[in-house]
Amino acid sequence: MPTLEPPNAADVRRIVEERLAALDGSNGLQETVTVEWRAQQRALPVISMPVDLLTYNPATHRVRAQRSLDPARDQDLTAQPFGTSAQAYLHHLLMGDPADPSKTDPTFEALKDDLEQHGQNEPGIITRAGVLINGNTRRAAMKSLGQEHMRVAVLPPDAGHGDLQSIELSLQLRRDHRRDYSFMNFLLAVDERVAAGRPPGEIQADFRIKATTFERALWILAFVREAIDRSRVQGTSGQDIAMRLVDFETHQGKLEELYRAYSALKPKSPDDAEALREQRLLAIVLGKSKTDVRFIDADFTERYMRGVLPPPSAQAATAVRIPGTSLTAAAPSQTVQALRALTDEALKARSVELAPTGVAPQVLATASAALQKLDAALDGALDQAGKQNRVIKKRYAAVDRLSDANEDLELSLAAVADARSTGNFKADDLDEALLTMRGNLAKLAQLVSRGESSTGDGVAWLRAAASLPNASG
């Protein structure tokens, strides 16, 4: 985490101290914000500060993954976090859609609309040097609207790195918080605490997640980082180009389902698990839908697209030594090696397409042709697999359907935000659909509860929502 001392820190600190002193001398009611501070609740005084004197927090988790959108600007942000260009980059990312930062996020437009109509409801939180620990997106919206002052709560002068992280996290997890971390930024926030040496149980409590969710988050992030490393190719300037964290932002459902399928298969057949992993990664890189990716099992390529596999390597694979031990693991089969080579080809070609100006025209043409060929072969294979899998009922079918429903609800959230931002939203328009959903949830609760006992929070919530007792009937 960079030192949070912008160039204007001394001037801002003086103004902050003056305004805090003015509060102490006031006989009127003072506005405060309560935060979790070193395992206790603490009320922070609120003052008004010029928007232009405040600075975005370069360490905010709000846009951590999106910073990889432009590697050159990200390097500049790392080297000069409070420079003009770095702060402008943060401003751009804070306005952007997490999955495509080149587009403005509908929730950001809704926030601007709300600020313009109703003013600032919730203060931001700053260090004494004027760096926003909470309220970065609000400041971006206020700057876009040309508003001059922002209400901010002021942290104690001894606030350290750990304090700032804890405050940002506790505020993020409040139910009334306006904008959640995106998928990749959540994974990075969890990983950051692991890297800091925090115990898993403490991290799970901080994020209010179960051990299974914690383990899944670490697995997915490691998987994505490995895929990025495998995608690296050398550009014309001599620097590597690669896929970016933000390129996996929209694949949450597919990655979570891959983790579940891989974890179930690994103890039974490690080689099949690795084959499944490679083939689903190929489908993700090629942008296939979640329903299509579900058709891919361990033997998918051998059954439906064997002709695209590279020939087996003439060199026998050697056993892999487990780091930190004298133990070795069996080498992957020739099939897994061939699948890995196929997926590597797709990863590298996608990197080239994502950075077309960084490679020679012929390299770009070759990469595009390779992706088109793989895409056509995979589409044909998925069509065949779909015909055979439509009649197969699986244990996780219900989970998969709920996952789809959650994605539809997320699209509904964006649609409501978009409608609000343009003044075209009426809550009554949702009434009929919401009543239908309530009826379906009640039926689902009855089916789930029939003859089953569960201590899961999700099932308990479903029973409560349907007014069913929290014990199996």
299-346 pLDDT, tens digit per residue, is 999 999 878 887 766 555 565 555 555 655 667 899 999 999 999 999
Comparing 473 with 3, which gets the higher pLDDT? Answer: 3
Whether the predicted pLDDT of 451 surpasses 90? no
Helix H or strand E encompassing 261: helix 252-265
- Per-residue pLDDT averaged across 118-136, rounded? 94
Task: Compare 460 and 391 and report the one with higher pLDDT.
Answer: 460
Task: Give one word for 178, left, alpha or beta, with left for phi > 0 and alpha for psi -120 to 50.
Answer: alpha
Residue appearing with tokens 């904008």: 179
pLDDT tens digits along 258-271: 999 999 999 999 99
DSSP string, 287-321: T--HHHHTT--TTHHHHH-GGGSPPPPSSPPPPEE
- pTM > 0.85: no
Q: At what angle do helices 200-207 and 183-195 cross, to 10 degrees?
A: 150
pLDDT at position 126: 96
Average pLDDT, the chain: 87
Reduced to 3 DSSP states, what percent helix, strand and coil does the chain have, rounded to the nearest 5? 60, 10, 30
Of 153, 142, 94, give the one whose Cα is nearest residue 118: 142
* Residues above pLDDT 90, as percent of the chain: 59
Least-confidence region, from 38-52, 158-172, 234-248:
158-172
Q: By CB neighbour count within 10 A (0-12 exposed, 13-18 middle, 19+ buried), where does 196 fall?
A: exposed
Q: Give the pLDDT mean for 176-205.
A: 85
pLDDT at 71: 87
> What pLDDT shows up at residue 179?
56
Determine the Cα angle at 209 with ends 456 and 170, to 5°: 135
Residue 176's pLDDT band, with cuts at 50, 70 and 90, is very low
pLDDT at 30: 87
**How far is 328 from 307, CA to CA, in rounded Å?**
32
pLDDT of the residue at 181: 79
Residue 391 has pLDDT above 60, yes or no: no
pLDDT of residue 400: 76
Task: Check pLDDT > 90 for residue 366.
Answer: yes
Amino acid at 203: I
Dihedral-angle region of residue 38 (phi above 0 means left; psi in -120 to 50 means alpha; beta otherwise)? left
Higher pLDDT, 363 or 160: 363
pLDDT at position 473: 40
Kindly state the average pLDDT of the residues 22-37.
84
334 exposure class (CB count in 10 Å sphere: 0-12, 13-18, 19+): middle
- Give the pLDDT of residue 308: 84
pLDDT band at 3 (very low <50, low <70, confident <90, very high): low
* Amino acid 410: pLDDT: 83
Residue 175 scores a pLDDT above 50: no
pLDDT in tens, 235-250: 998 889 999 999 999 9
- Beta strand extents in 224-383 (DSSP E only): 233-234, 240-241, 320-321, 328-329
Under the banding of pLDDT at 50, 70 and 90, the label for residue 395 is low
Q: What is the pLDDT of residue 319?
A: 58
- What is the predicted pLDDT for the residue at 329? 62
> Which of 6-10, 204-208, 339-343, 357-361 bottoms out in mean pLDDT, i.e. has the lowest?
204-208
Taking 50 as the threshold, does the pLDDT of residue 157 lie above it?
Answer: yes
Reported as a pLDDT band with limits 50, 70 and 90, residue 456 is confident
Mean pLDDT of the 381-401 span: 71
Give residue 1's pLDDT band: very low, low, confident or very high (50, 70, 90): very low
How many CB atoms neighbour CB 228 within 10 A?
Answer: 18
Helix segments in 35-154, DSSP class H: 71-79, 84-95, 106-118, 136-145
Q: What is the pLDDT of residues 59-96, one digit of tens each?
A: 898 899 999 888 889 999 999 999 999 999 999 999 99
CB atoms within 10 A of CB 167: 21
Q: Answer yes or no: is pLDDT of 419 > 90.
A: no
For residue 227, the model assigns a pLDDT of 97
Q: What is the average per-residue pLDDT within 200-216?
A: 92
Q: Is the pLDDT of residue 411 over 90?
A: no
Strands (E), 117-275: 124-126, 132-134, 149-154, 233-234, 240-241
Of 414, 410, 411, nearest to 105 by C-alpha is 414
144 or 162: which leads in pLDDT: 144
